[in-house]
Amino acid sequence: MAMDFGWLNDLGVEPVIGMGYTGGPEKYYSALQRFYKAYETNRAKVEDTLAGGDLENYMITVHALKSNARMIGAETLSSSFESLESAARLGDKAFIESENGPVMKAYADLVTALAPVGEGERVMAADEISADEAREVAAQLLEALDDFDDDLSAELVKKLSGYPFRLTQKDRLAEAATFIGDFLYDEAAEIIKEISGEIE
């Protein structure tokens, strides 16, 4: 499937950066689709946590949005979410009240512009796995770690990396792979349990 991403530059999105994070055109296209489809859920989370004065969960939500925007190469939007995350960490409600609206509008505008991709046919890269598959692989991996089976564990980590985790979880999975290489199975298992909760 031929993919032209040049038009994204006009939206403030840098495909080269996004493909660097995601690992190629098909995975990048898939990431754009997920970014588009997650909008309503994320918008509701931001509104609900803000309305309830729940700065801790607001911070968690905008942190995730920061990573999601960075993964598709929307660096300016990612930086904006990072500013909101920092303000939430500091309890700076005035900054959040001032900036949340404009940042969420920029997010909404980008999502609207991504409709041609978001509403298109679902694309999965050759080595990409679904959420159901990822949950199954994670369960198998925990069993393999419990059995101290380093060869099977390494193979399953590689398979699990086909799930489109956010950047933070990708880094954690790489840590787990390192632990397995060093025969630190308990430490690896703790990470797998942690990131399994991010499979959605």
Residue 57 domain-assigned (yes or no): yes
Residue 124 domain-assigned (yes or no): no
Are 42 and 112 within one domain? yes
Range of the domain at 163: 131-195
Are 98 and 42 within one domain? yes
Are 66 and 148 within one domain? no
Are 15 and 102 within one domain? yes
Residue 108's CATH number: 1.20.120
Residue carrying the six token digits 């770690």: 145
Number of domains in the chain: 2
Written as tens digits, the pLDDT of the chain (200 aa) is 447 888 898 899 999 999 888 888 888 888 898 899 889 999 999 999 999 999 999 999 999 899 999 999 999 999 999 999 999 999 999 999 999 999 999 999 999 999 988 777 766 666 778 888 888 999 999 898 888 887 888 888 888 888 888 777 888 888 888 888 888 888 889 999 988 887 87
